[in-house]
Amino acid sequence: MAMEAHEIKALIVKAMPDADVMIEDLRGDGDHYSATIVSSAFAGKSRVQQHQLVYEALQGNMGTMLHALALQTSAPDE
């Protein structure tokens, strides 16, 4: 069972309320997405730490309901 784009966005915004999130279904299969996320939660964090915050926001769905997610993350002033 795959996740829909709006479900991914909702989980991210729930964890990072100020996040500006754009999700794109890369293959139209509901299983391969890209996400561009801008949030103040990323300020001062390395790219790895930023991605870890996103994975935490997805509440264990990465690798199960969500197969692939290409991430572009940044703080608002980057």
Ordered structural domains, the chain, with CATH:
5-74 (3.30.300.90)
How far apart, in whole angstroms, are the C-alpha atoms of residue 77 and residue 59? Answer: 27
Residue-wise pLDDT for 17-60, tens only, equals 999 999 999 988 778 899 999 999 999 999 999 999 999 999 98
**pLDDT of 75 strictly over 70:** yes
Average the pLDDT over 51-74 and give the result. Answer: 91
Tokens at 56, concatenated: 């935490």
**pLDDT of 1 strictly over 70:** no
How far apart, in whole angstroms, are the C-alpha atoms of residue 43 and residue 63? Answer: 26
pLDDT of residue 78: 79
The stretches of the chain forming alpha helices (DSSP H) are 5-15, 47-57
Cβ distance 9 to 33 under 8 Å?
no
